[in-house]
Amino acid sequence: MSNRIDVSDLDVYYGDFLAVQGVNMTIEARQATALIGPSGCGKSTFLRTLNRMHEVIPGARVQGKALMDGQDLYGADVDPVTVRRLVGMVFQRPNPFPTMSIADNVLAGVRLNNRRMSKGDQQELVERSLRGANLWNEVKDRLARPGSSLSGGQQQRLCIARAIAVKPQVLLMDEPCSALDPISTLAIEDLIAELKSEYTIVIVTHNMQQAARVSDRTAFFNIAGTGKPGRLIEMDDTSTMFSSPREQATEDYISGRFG
Ligand SMILES: Nc1ncnc2c1ncn2[C@@H]1O[C@H](COP(=O)(O)OP(=O)(O)OP(=O)(O)O)[C@@H](O)[C@H]1O
Ligand SMILES: [Mg+2]
């Protein structure tokens, strides 16, 4: 398994509204790919197509292809629940279950997948996932406390622990630091650098410095105007995108000369 994703001619609709059009993109395995672009250009929409979360919205649908390691994520015989386990997601606002304990939060996704585990295996998975999310040392003495007893940055790392506990291959992150202070943001960025040795990571960010710091490749989406579909304008190695993009629109966006 290489966990590479190949998207071709992807159109994404909300009912009759074409929100994202004609995306062709390769997301390399075990790298961090940043999605950037102005508000409303369809970054979140596109991201959610990669784990079949888009289609849970009534009327929402997808045309085109998204392959993971050559396997069609939208194949007729593919269970979307399986796709969501293989392709985990972390959201903009940390969303732990507030009254559930820290340990149970980590196990929540695993339980959803109906995996039966012994107490010992559960404890081990909790520790491994919390270590993986760089949170273990901060919470190991209070695993029974509620998820809401953690700081925002800790809650986001708890959500990352919950996401990796189900052993995904890909992690989608939609502005995972936008609700966090600079220190917590750096902690998450460090974590992304570590996680990408094991997972393919796709991160949406409005922070250009963050895209430059954490990602190997960057994709710039843009929108021609209200009601028009978002499109992928260009994608390249992050260093190239930030030093010598091919498109003027990319240059304008990354240098803050936008809109
Ligand atoms: N549930 C929905 N139903 C209908 N239209 C939607 C829905 N969610 C998003 N849209 C529309 O799809 C387009 C793309 O939205 P999306 O949220 O993907 O943009 P984005 O690039 O993530 O923006 P932001 O940077 O503000 O998060 C917008 O026109 C938006 O209004
Ligand atoms: Mg968004």
Task: Specify the length of the chain in residues.
Answer: 259
Q: Considering every ligand atom, which ligand is closest to the CA of 219?
A: 1
Q: Which residues pair with 71 in a beta bridge?
A: 68
* 229 C-beta closer than 6 A to ligand 1: no
Torsion of CA 91, 96, 98, 101, to 10 degrees: 180
Residue 10 and residue 66 in contact, taking contact as beta carbons nearer than 8 Å = yes
**Domain map (residue ranges) of the chain:** 5-95+169-254
Residue 163 and residue 82 in contact, taking contact as beta carbons nearer than 8 Å = no
* 21 C-beta closer than 6 A to ligand 1: no
Q: What percent of the chain has pLDDT over 90?
A: 91
Residue 256 and residue 72 in contact, taking contact as beta carbons nearer than 8 Å = no
Once rounded to an integer, what is the mean pLDDT over residues 163-185?
93
Once rounded to an integer, what is the mean pLDDT over residues 32-61?
97
Once rounded to an integer, what is the mean pLDDT over residues 15-33?
98
Residues 6+ away with beta carbon under 8 Å from 3: 29, 30, 68, 69, 169, 170, 199, 200
Biggest CA–CA distance in the chain, Å, is 57
**Edge-to-edge strands, sheet with 5-14:** 71-72, 60-68, 5-14, 17-27, 230-237, 217-223, 32-36, 200-204, 170-174, 87-90
Confidence check: pLDDT of 159 > 80: yes
Ligand 1 atom with minimal separation from the 57 CA: 1
pLDDT, one tens digit per residue, over 84-114 is 999 999 999 999 999 999 999 999 998 887 6
> What is the fold of 5-95+169-254?
Rossmann fold (3.40.50)
* 56 C-beta closer than 6 A to ligand 1: no
pLDDT, one tens digit per residue, over 197-241 is 999 999 999 999 999 999 999 999 999 999 999 999 999 999 999
> What is residue 90's three-state secondary structure?
strand
- Overall pTM surpassing 0.85 (yes/no): yes
Helix (H) / strand (E) containing 147: none
Once rounded to an integer, what is the mean pLDDT over residues 247-257?
92
Q: What percent of the chain has pLDDT over 70?
A: 98
Beta strands in 129-259 (DSSP E): 170-174, 200-204, 217-223, 230-237
Higher pLDDT, 58 or 259: 58
pLDDT at 206: 95
Report the separation in Å between the CA atom of 39 and the middle of ligand 1, taken as the mean of its atom positions. Answer: 8
pLDDT bracket for residue 131 (50, 70, 90): very high
pLDDT bracket for residue 1 (50, 70, 90): low
If you take atom 9 of ligand 1, which residue's CA is the nearest one? 45
**CB atoms near residue 255 (< 10 Å):** 11
* Alpha carbon 82 to chain centroid, angstroms: 16
Residues 6+ away with beta carbon under 8 Å from 88: 51, 109, 163, 164, 166, 168, 170, 171, 172
Residue 64 structure tokens: 């085109």
Once rounded to an integer, what is the mean pLDDT over residues 186-195?
92
Residue 227 structure tokens: 């009601």
Residue 239 structure tokens: 């260093």
pLDDT bracket for residue 116 (50, 70, 90): confident
Once rounded to an integer, what is the mean pLDDT over residues 14-29?
98
pLDDT at 171: 97
* 57 C-beta closer than 6 A to ligand 1: yes
Residue 12 and residue 62 in contact, taking contact as beta carbons nearer than 8 Å = yes
Confidence check: pLDDT of 259 > 90: no
Whole-number Å distance between alpha carbons of 89 and 110: 14
φ, ψ dihedrals at 177, nearest 5°: -110, 0
Confidence check: pLDDT of 180 > 90: no
Once rounded to an integer, what is the mean pLDDT over residues 181-191?
91
